[in-house]
Structure 1
Amino acid sequence: MGAPLFPGFSGTWKEMEAGLARCVPAQCNQVTSQGAGAGVAGVTGWNTGRAERAGAARLCSTEIAAVLEFSVLPQSTTSALKNSSNSGGRMAWKWKYSPKEQLEDMGSLHPGLTGLQNLENTCYMNAVLQCLCSLTPLVQYFLSGKWNTALHEEIGESATAFGCLVSDMWLGEFDYVSPEAFHSVFGKRHPTFSKRTQHDAQEFLICVLDDLHEAFKQPSQERQSPSAGASTRSSSGTSIITQLFEGQLSHGIRCLTCKAHSDRPESFTVLSLPIPSTRACSLQDCLECFFQPDTLTLNNQINCFWCGSNQDATVKASITKAPPIIIFHLKRFAWQDKNRRKLSTTVCYPFSDLDLSPYISTSCRDTREYSLCAVVNHAGDMDYGHYTAFCKHSVTKHWYSFDDAQVTKIPDSEVQADTAYLLFYTSQGY
């Protein structure tokens, strides 16, 4: 038998089902209302007091651990499983089986293939959430319950809602679920996204990663500096987000007058790549454009310490730390003659063996290669557009299209599209 997708439990299914049925208190059983036909799960009762929710989660976690010899399950998982066991349904994960055997034995359950209801102009949010919820290391972090121990409860409400959403999506019991609870609490922390209007998926992604980082971070001594080409978090610290998504750049700056050289480090979670052509190009072309040396003149001069004045300089970026998961943002929205327009350039990107070694600093021996695992697409123009996602399922290894509530299996050939906006790559073997 192969290794289970979520290891840690070795008991029988009846033992797990019976244990969960006994462990779920009323505060946790606030998930799911059945929709017509497809089946829609919406988290209700979110205004329950934070102390009550935290107490319920701790009670679930403690008793489940005692009965099942497992660690911790997220609150929404136990709630949804209670509902599943009462209705005669079966649990979406059966840890004693290999991934292939899981799917063959689950019948109508579809873990990780759950659509998201559009709450009116929230396709940007749905596409990003589907990509994040397809990343195996992040999914395992939430489904194992490790997030509960790292969570800063005073600022972790949206992170908790995200964890509940991951659980609901990987339970596989519904064709689609509602992200209403997550959207509501996330909008409180980020009012820009509280209104149900169109937003940029990349901006939303950065805010989600920042929010999750703040909710889970542990203190560190590292400092970070901002840059136009990469997104960074506002404060130092380490978290599951830094472990998975954070890379490090070094900007080598050389004064053209005195030839003095200095390096400026910068952390990033998303790399924004220029598109160097209006017709067709490759991802490697975009990377070459981003990492090519640049000359700083006129208003962009540096203040050279050794010269004591502003001087022309050259600057060249290189990667000093490559993250396990690297996200590329293709800069399709550009300014032309004081007007913003969208570039519909076809960017060809590899499915596997993406080699970043040409852009790795000589001082870094990290030469890992990457495989494509998810794509956020944007179809349309500046005034009207629609976001969708392509995600590679971690168990079946098939590609699926996520168009809000609609989930469709697609051939590999359809994943290469001229609508690609965000590309998610995972390090091979990670």
Structure 2
Amino acid sequence: MKQKDKLCVPDLSDLSMSFCSPPVIVRTILLMGQRGGHQESKKLEISPSETMKAEDYKEDRGPKSEDWRPPSVFGVADLKNRAVGLYNIGQTCCLNSLLQVFFMNIHFTKILRRISVPVYGTQKRNNVPYQMLLLLEKMQCGKQKAVSPRELAICLLGHRVEMFVQCDAAQLFLTLWNLLKKQIRNPELVGKLSDLYTISVQEHLACQICSSETTRNSSMLTLPVPLLDSESYMLKTLEECLQCFFHPEELTGHNMCFCEHCGKKTPFQQSVKLVHLPQTLTIHLKRFCFGRSAYIHKINNRLPFPQDLDFSAVLTEQQYQAYDNEKAAWQYELFAVVAHSGSTSCGHYCAYIRSLTECKWYSFNDSIVEQVSWDDVRSTYGHSDLNWGQTAYLLFYMKKHPQ
């Protein structure tokens, strides 16, 4: 009988986030939904996390080829017919699902196997990229059908990441990415990691009286798209959710901002324009929202998502700020789905991932890994009558023709 893990609201206190009021453009992590059907702030700031001191690492300052790798370590995604599970060691289904998504991404494992190795034992135990590399090697070298992520989980505990408790996949994904970026010492690899996952947007805040405008470039790790529109009606497709996310928002009434040019609070229009999409695009479906009584509930309603996604066909000219050659490369293919089953108080995570070497879909449910069909992946679309069934929560798309 599978242990049912509880799902919690993201605890943002350890992520050093700053919440600002208008007229400053807000850059926050999205809570998992809308309050009263309306969108909350749309932006996400990639936040700092703890890092090791430079002297704790043994840097390889000589040139490294792209094919360099530690002995015997190449990566789960490079192997055919060799999918390995991860044991649930106490409410770690969320961590296990995200790790499998990382490890099945050939572009990520190519970065991971080039990291510099810390010198001392203590630093090795506290280094997240290194512990992920060791786990990857353990998955690849052993003959077991599943291995334990215990050492990595203990390493994450040392960085104040709550383990063995209820988790939210979107928050944990951000936390893991921040730790990876901060603890990889090679600037070239940090740049490659950012190119692989980071979304670039341009934020706009315009006064509706004097037309003065504030513009700022920003980065996001995920696109947190709503499932409800501004009138609290269910959106019917992923494309509609994306259009809703990039649709300008009117700030009126209690949401008016102070305009320095007008010298008073005035109505503003807030919008986000897409500038650049990464090789691996992560979309966060905001299935968790606040009801009128401030009680968080889950939206199980059906939301189809396509295998192929062309952003240039989804967005209007007013919703992007990009060159034509950038826009021409906005064609994606679905790579992975992290699905949640259950409710806000009790649930479980698993991952559906398409092997980049075999082009076959696999289900990663903790220690159980098995090949599945596209119809099995489509079962995560959701349904309003679901009590326990799986619904997609994070979607990972891979660029078809990387530049």
Structure number with greater Rg is: 1
Pair 1:404–1:278, CA change in 2 (3 A): farther
Name the structure, 1 or 2, with higher relative contact order (CA <8 Å, separation 6+).
2
> Does residue 242 of structure 1 match 2:212?
no
Residue identity matched to 2:257: I
CA distance in 1, matches of 2:284, 2:363: 19
Following superposition, the deviation at residue 71 of structure 1 comes to 5.8
Matched-pair contact (CA < 8 Å) for 2:116–2:186: no
Write the mapping of 1:250-329 to structure 2, written as runs, cut at 5 A: 250-276=202-228, 281-329=236-284
CA distance in 2, matches of 1:241, 1:299: 40
CA distance in 2, matches of 1:264, 1:70: 35
Query: Which residue of structure 2 aligns with residue 351 of structure 1?
Result: 307
Pair 1:149–1:246, CA change in 2 (3 A): farther
CA distance in 2, matches of 1:279, 1:407: 33
Question: Mean alpha-carbon deviation: is it higher for 405-414 or for 256-265?
Answer: 256-265
SS of the residue corresponding to residue 402 of structure 1 reads strand
CA distance in 1, matches of 2:245, 2:216: 16
Query: Which residue of structure 2 aligns with residue 427 of structure 1?
Result: 399
Selected match of 1:73 from 69, 76, 84: 69
Matched-pair contact (CA < 8 Å) for 1:278–1:344: no
Following superposition, the deviation at residue 323 of structure 1 comes to 1.2
Residue identity matched to 1:247: I
> Does residue 199 of structure 1 match 2:167?
yes
CA distance in 2, matches of 1:361, 1:151: 46
Instruction: Tell me how many residue pairs correspond in the alignment.
Output: 324
Following superposition, the deviation at residue 301 of structure 1 comes to 2.3
SS of the residue corresponding to residue 211 of structure 2 reads coil
Matched-pair contact (CA < 8 Å) for 2:115–2:186: no
Query: Which residue of structure 2 aligns with residue 81 of structure 1?
Result: none
Unaligned runs of 5+ in 1: 1-49, 79-90, 94-98, 104-109, 221-236
Write the mapping of 1:14-413 to structure 2, written as runs, cut at 5 A: 72-74=68-70, 77=72, 103=80, 110-111=81-82, 113-142=83-112, 145-148=113-116, 157-171=127-141, 173-191=143-161, 193-194=162-163, 196-216=164-184, 238-276=190-228, 281-337=236-292, 338-356=294-312, 358=315, 361-365=320-324, 366-367=326-327, 368-413=330-375
Pair 1:320–1:400, CA change in 2 (3 A): same
Residue identity matched to 1:354: D
Matched-pair contact (CA < 8 Å) for 2:57–2:117: no
CA distance in 1, matches of 2:331, 2:143: 35
Pair 1:281–1:189, CA change in 2 (3 A): same
Pair 1:140–1:282, CA change in 2 (3 A): same
SS of the residue corresponding to residue 415 of structure 1 reads helix
SS of the residue corresponding to residue 165 of structure 1 reads helix
Pair 1:146–1:218, CA change in 2 (3 A): closer
Q: Higher helix proportion, which one?
A: 1
Pair 1:420–1:264, CA change in 2 (3 A): same
Following superposition, the deviation at residue 389 of structure 1 comes to 0.3
Matched-pair contact (CA < 8 Å) for 1:251–1:317: yes
SS of the residue corresponding to residue 350 of structure 1 reads coil
Q: 1:217-272 CA distances to partner (integer Å, 9 max, x unpaired)?
A: 6679xxxxxxxxxxxxxxxx953321211111112222111012231221001111
CA distance in 1, matches of 2:298, 2:365: 21
SS of the residue corresponding to residue 111 of structure 2 reads helix
Pair 1:427–1:92, CA change in 2 (3 A): closer
CA distance in 2, matches of 1:379, 1:275: 17
Q: CA RMSD in A?
A: 3.4
Following superposition, the deviation at residue 168 of structure 1 comes to 2.8
CA distance in 2, matches of 1:328, 1:92: 24
Q: 1:298-320 CA distances to partner (integer Å, 9 max, x unpaired)?
A: 34323323223322111121111
